[in-house]
Amino acid sequence: MNFLSLLNVEFQKIRRSGILLILLASTVILWIPSIFNLDLNFHMQAEGISPEYNFFIQGFMAMSWFMYPAGLVVGTVLVSQTERLNKGILKMLALPIGTVRLSLAKFVVLLVLSATQILMMTGMYYIGAAICSVMRDYNFILSPLFVMREIGILFLSAIPMLAFFWMLSVCIQTPIFYIGIGLASIVPSVLMINTKIWFAYPMSYPFFVIVSEYGKLATNLDTAQVEFVPWIPVAIAITVTCLCVSCLCFGRGERR
């Protein structure tokens, strides 16, 4: 079985999971308050940000702070629990497939779920911006190139966090611990982005990146900017370590 057909199998497993509905609901809920509080976008002179950029960045900040990481936690629960129910994982482990490839295939599924969530968020952003443009007779729609760049950065910055969550769900057998640790680790990210060691905490990357973009767009606001030198090597090290540990531990609990 090559990697592509393995991926295909993994996608079939989550086809009827209903995860897309949950992610869609969260993105709809995200933009509704922004549309209702449309007027606030016109009173941001103190920060020096134009209304259309403010509309975009506020929504993305709300998302990258809590819902996006929490959506990834739900994704890891989905991927690990669908197989633990009814001992499906034992059947998978009995097949002549390397556990490393199996673990990596599941991680790719998680990456696709993460990308789907961002794309839904972006789609909803365009719908919301179109509604606002009609309501206010002011162009809220930003150029797709700019939006693509932002969501690309957001997606890439979330990969170390995702690898960490995946490692938790593989290594910890009791579901409440990896859910609890995952969710509890999201909450302090607000505090971590204000410290000097934010790059050591993968859960704060997406929020940090979006906040630093906010600082770039708002001329009067000074937020910490991304410094690539300690960040990129540390992020790569965290990702590789987490992936290696999860590949090594995958299926170990079941095989005992």
Partner 1 sequence: MRILLEWKKTKRTGFVPAFMGGGILAAAVPAVNMAVRSEMYLGRQGTCVWILMDANWQVMAMLNLLLVVAGACLLYHTEYADNGLQKMKSLPVLESSIFFGKMVLMILMSVLLLVMEAASILFCSWHWFGGQAGGGQLGGGDGSVFVIELCQSFGYAFLLMLPCVVLSLLISEACKNMWISLGIGIVCVFTATMLPTSSFVLSLFPFAMPFQVFAGADAAWTTRFICAAVVELVVLGGAEVLIVGGRLNEFFIAS
Question: Which chain residues interact with partner 1 by CB under 8 A?
Answer: 17-19, 22-23, 25-26, 29-30, 33, 62, 66-67, 70-71, 73-75, 77-78, 81, 84-85, 174-177, 179-180, 183-184, 187
Q: How far is the CB of 186 from partner 1 (least distance, A)?
A: 8
Q: For residues 146 and 177, which CB has a smaller minimum distance to partner 1 in the complex?
A: 177
| Number of helical (H) and strand (E) elements in the chain, helices listed first | 12, 0
Q: How far is the CB of 30 from partner 1 (least distance, A)?
A: 7
Q: For residues 85 and 94, which CB has a smaller minimum distance to partner 1 in the complex?
A: 85
Q: For residues 77 and 100, which CB has a smaller minimum distance to partner 1 in the complex?
A: 77
Q: How far is the CB of 61 from partner 1 (least distance, A)?
A: 12
Q: For residues 29 and 197, which CB has a smaller minimum distance to partner 1 in the complex?
A: 29
Q: How far is the CB of 181 from partner 1 (least distance, A)?
A: 9
CA distances from 17 to 10, 64, 104, 180, 253 (A): 12, 23, 20, 22, 24
CA angle 84, 90, 94 (to 5 degrees): 155
- Biggest CA–CA distance in the chain, Å, is 64
Q: How far is the CB of 4 from partner 1 (least distance, A)?
A: 25
Amino acid at site 183 = L
Q: How many CB atoms lie within 10 A of CB 216?
A: 14
Q: For residues 10 and 231, which CB has a smaller minimum distance to partner 1 in the complex?
A: 10
Phi-psi category of 225—alpha, beta or left, where left has phi over 0 and alpha has psi -120 to 50? Answer: beta
